[in-house]
Structure 1
Amino acid sequence: MSIDRIPLNTNGHDLLPKRADKVMVFAEPGEEPFVAGVRWRCATCDEPPTYVVRDGTVHVQDPCPYPNGITTEITLDVPSGKLIVTDDLRDVYDVDFHAGASYGTALGEAQVIKAMAALGCAYGPVGNTSPGLYRTQEKDSYVIASPTLDDNDIPSLPKEDRLAQIDTALWAYSIADYEGWKAKGGAPGQKLLGEYTVVDVTPGTYKFSHHTGERGFDKYAADTVAFAHLQRVSPSPRS
Structure 2
Amino acid sequence: MTIKKLPLMPNGHALLPGRAEEGEEVTVFESSTGESPLVAGTHFRCADCDQEPVYLIRDGAVHVQEPCPYPNGITTQITLEVPSGRLIVTDDLRDVYHVDFHAGASYNTALGQAQVVQAMAALGCAFGPVGNSSPGLYRTHERDSYLIAAPTYDDNDRPSLPEEACLAEIDTALWAYAIADFEDWKAKGGAPGQKLLGKYTVIDVTPGTYKVTHHSGERGFDKYAADTVVFARMERVTQASTT
Deviations 1:51-80 (A, max 9, x none): 000010000001000000000000000000
The CA distance in 2 between the partners of 1:237 and 1:17, in whole Å, is: 47
The CA distance in 1 between the partners of 2:15 and 2:87, in whole Å, is: 38
Opposite residue 191 of structure 2, the aligned amino acid is: A
1:155 equivalent in alignment to 2:145:
no
Q: Which residue of structure 1 aligns with residue 121 of structure 2?
A: 117
Deviations 1:161-213 (A, max 9, x none): 00000001111000000011001111111111111000110000000000110
Normalising by structure 2, we get a TM-score of 0.96
Deviations 1:104-125 (A, max 9, x none): 0000000000000000000001
Q: Which residue of structure 2 aligns with residue 90 of structure 1?
A: 94
1:222 equivalent in alignment to 2:206:
no
The CA distance in 1 between the partners of 2:176 and 2:223, in whole Å, is: 12
Residues 86 and 166 of structure 1 are in contact (CA less than 8 Å); yes or no, is this contact kept in structure 2?
yes
The CA distance in 2 between the partners of 1:190 and 1:36, in whole Å, is: 46
2:239 to 230, 235, 238: 235
Q: CA deviation at 1:148?
A: 0.6
Q: Which residue of structure 2 aligns with residue 12 of structure 1?
A: 12
Residues 208 and 228 of structure 1 are in contact (CA less than 8 Å); yes or no, is this contact kept in structure 2?
yes
- Shift of the 77–238 alpha-carbon distance from structure 1 to 2, 3 Å rule, reads farther
Note the residue ranges of structure 1 that are not aligned, 5 or more in a row.
none
Q: CA deviation at 1:237?
A: 2.9
Note the residue ranges of structure 2 that are not aligned, 5 or more in a row.
none
**Match runs of 1:171-186 below 5 Å:** 171-186=175-190
The CA distance in 2 between the partners of 1:166 and 1:28, in whole Å, is: 51
Opposite residue 22 of structure 1, the aligned amino acid is: E
The CA distance in 1 between the partners of 2:217 and 2:7, in whole Å, is: 26
**Match runs of 1:1-239 below 5 Å:** 1-18=1-18, 19=20, 21-29=24-32, 30-238=34-242
Question: Secondary structure in 2 aligned to 1:182?
Answer: helix
Opposite residue 24 of structure 1, the aligned amino acid is: T
Question: Secondary structure in 2 aligned to 1:83?
Answer: strand
Question: Aligned residue pairs: how many?
Answer: 239
User: What value does the CA root-mean-square deviation take over the aligned residues?
Assistant: 1.0
Question: Secondary structure in 2 aligned to 1:113?
Answer: helix
Question: Secondary structure in 2 aligned to 1:112?
Answer: helix
Q: CA deviation at 1:238?
A: 4.3
Normalising by structure 1, we get a TM-score of 0.98
Opposite residue 87 of structure 2, the aligned amino acid is: L
Q: CA deviation at 1:222?
A: 1.6
Question: Secondary structure in 1 aligned to 2:202?
Answer: strand
